[in-house]
């Protein structure tokens, strides 16, 4: 069996340690062999982006495939470009999303703009493990620089929302792009929607993100305070490759991804009833709001490609994750930070201030824990805690979710590192904390017993 390269979000590692030019060149040859046609390549703003772009492109061209270089783009902009062109057989996004600047990675995109399936990744891994012959000298591929893909993506978003309603609302927002891939596209989107933008970290400085790249409440304090100080209608903060974003109320309060998902689910269902898809890790807040709005919720395993493909299978009208990754099928089946901005602006323009909408949501308390756990112990840990969860309703869609009368706890192995994650939720804050601590202790004691 070929070595596994791809994690839940592509191939990632530290530059010149895990991600070397030699390794990426071979990966490019494998990708070119499997995709078997023209490949579009884009990147975020990381310092190492050019190195990886040249190496991956050289590999693709070495096996006779042509490369379109789209420059710096959000991941969903690359996905939109690939999806809308029948002559392109796939895409490669060079990004490590929210990881620190010394990391970078390769994410593969299928011909239809969705993230590559596990089967496609396995085919690339199989080729990667082989000696891949190059094409004859007169059949090597060529590279072409393509301009304008970002604006094309922005125009597509504008066409999918009620742009007139947004423009008439004359909104003002604070925008933090983490000096990442959306540094041009998101300001341009706001301009085309007549939204006054106060920007922060909107320069292409991948080695100096201005803040930790993951848009958590602790990491985006500058834009939280700026939104409040400027009396803006809302604030927006992206991750590095802008397939996700989080929002901020006019009084500078962080709006978690589960709340954004709930609000936009409710807004979507006000226009059309249907299915909403989200992972088992998402707050029960979303299910309560969806059901109250006349919709039906479907739960999947964790991972945006899994959510997207379930949406495609079921004809769902909306979906997303609790980390700010939202999927709009009218645009494309992938997480789309730009589309999330436009839809939230439309929601505010038509349904009222974000602050007021958030205040009407049910209150749940969610506690998250991460525990170091060797990969070869993950299966044993799952079996142990399932046996220790007597009296709960057990769901094994992803890891083990134990549902109680007053809340639930999800224990699942990380797909990207040797760790176990515990999510505990309840409408009672004390219960949420106590149950999180109980399961954390349970896992640690079991591991300690095993390794004595």
Angle, in degrees to the nearest 10, between helices 378-387 and 429-451: 130
Q: What is the mean pLDDT of the chain?
A: 95
Q: Max alpha carbon distance in the chain (Å)?
A: 69
According to the model, what pLDDT value does residue 1 have?
A: 62
- In this prediction the pTM is 0.95
Q: Per-residue pLDDT tens for 424-433? A: 999 999 999 9
Torsion 33-35-37-39 (CA) sign: negative
Residues 6+ apart with CB under 8 A from 346: 161, 162, 165, 166, 267
Share of the chain above pLDDT 70, in %: 98
Structure tokens given for 127: 């080729």
Q: Per-residue pLDDT tens for 24-47? A: 999 999 999 999 999 999 999 999
According to the model, what pLDDT value does residue 452 have?
A: 62
| Statement: residue 415 has pLDDT above 80 | no
The domains found in the chain, sorted by start residue, are 11-147 (3.40.120.10), 152-359 (3.40.120.10), 365-451 (3.30.310.50)
Q: Per-residue pLDDT tens for 248-265? A: 999 999 999 999 999 999
Residue 212: what are its φ and ψ, rounded to 5°? -55, 140
| Statement: residue 134 has pLDDT above 80 | yes
According to the model, what pLDDT value does residue 2 have?
A: 75
| Statement: residue 206 has pLDDT above 90 | no
Considering 43, 97, 186, 250, which one is annotated as catalytic? 97
Annotated catalytic residue 424: no
Q: Per-residue pLDDT tens for 151-190? A: 999 999 999 999 999 999 999 999 999 999 999 999 999 9
Q: Per-residue pLDDT tens for 287-342? A: 999 999 999 999 999 989 999 999 999 999 999 999 999 999 999 999 999 999 99
| Statement: residue 414 has pLDDT above 90 | no
Torsion 247-433-400-295 (CA) sign: negative
Q: Per-residue pLDDT tens for 355-406? A: 999 999 999 999 999 999 998 899 999 999 999 998 899 999 999 999 999 9
According to the model, what pLDDT value does residue 15 have?
A: 96
């Amino acid at each position: 069996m070929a070595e596994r390269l791809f994690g839940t979000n592509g191939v990632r590692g530290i530059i010149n340690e895990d991600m070397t030019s030699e390794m990426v060149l071979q990966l490019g040859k494998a990708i070119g062999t499997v995709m078997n046609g023209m490949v579009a390549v884009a990147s975020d703003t990381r310092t190492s982006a050019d190195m990886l772009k040249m190496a991956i492109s050289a590999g693709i061209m070495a096996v006779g495939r042509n490369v379109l270089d789209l420059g710096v783009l959000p991941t969903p902009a690359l996905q939109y470009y690939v999806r809308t062109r029948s002559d392109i057989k796939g895409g490669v996004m060079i990004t490590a999303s929210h990881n620190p600047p010394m990391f970078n990675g390769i994410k593969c995109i299928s011909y239809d703009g969705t993230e590559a399936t596990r089967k496609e990744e396995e085919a690339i891994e199989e080729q990667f493990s082989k000696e891949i012959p190059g094409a004859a000298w007169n059949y090597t591929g060529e590279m072409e620089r393509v301009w304008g893909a970002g604006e094309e993506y922005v125009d597509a978003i504008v066409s999918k929302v009620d742009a007139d309603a947004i423009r008439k609302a004359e909104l003002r927002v604070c925008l933090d792009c983490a000096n990442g891939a959306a540094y041009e596209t998101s300001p341009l989107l706001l301009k085309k929607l007549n939204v006054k933008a106060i920007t922060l970290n909107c320069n292409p400085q991948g080695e100096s993100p201005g803040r930790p790249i993951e848009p958590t409440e602790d990491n985006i304090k500058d834009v939280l305070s700026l939104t409040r100080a400027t009396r803006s209608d809302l604030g927006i903060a992206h991750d590095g490759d802008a397939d996700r974003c989080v929002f901020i109320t006019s009084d500078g309060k962080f709006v978690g991804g589960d709340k954004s998902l709930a609000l936009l689910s409710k807004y979507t269902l006000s226009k059309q009833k249907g299915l909403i898809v989200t992972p088992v890790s998402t707050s029960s807040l979303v299910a309560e709001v969806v059901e109250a709005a006349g919709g039906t919720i479907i739960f999947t395993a964790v991972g945006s490609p899994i959510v997207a493909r379930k949406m495609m299978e079921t004809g769902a009208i909306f979906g997303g994750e609790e980390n700010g990754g939202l999927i709009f099928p009218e645009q494309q089946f992938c997480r789309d930070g730009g589309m999330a901005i436009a839809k939230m602006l439309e929601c505010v323009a038509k349904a009222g201030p974000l602050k007021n909408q958030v205040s009407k949501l049910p209150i749940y308390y969610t506690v998250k824990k991460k525990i170091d756990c060797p990969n070869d112990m993950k299966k044993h840990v799952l079996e142990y805690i399932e046996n220790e969860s007597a009296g709960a309703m057990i769901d094994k869609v992803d890891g083990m979710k134990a549902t109680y009368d007053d809340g639930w706890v999800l224990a699942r192995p990380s797909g990207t590192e040797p760790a176990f994650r515990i999510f505990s939720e309840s409408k009672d804050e004390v219960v949420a904390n106590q149950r999180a601590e109980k399961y954390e202790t349970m896992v640690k004691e079991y591991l300690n017993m095993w390794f004595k």
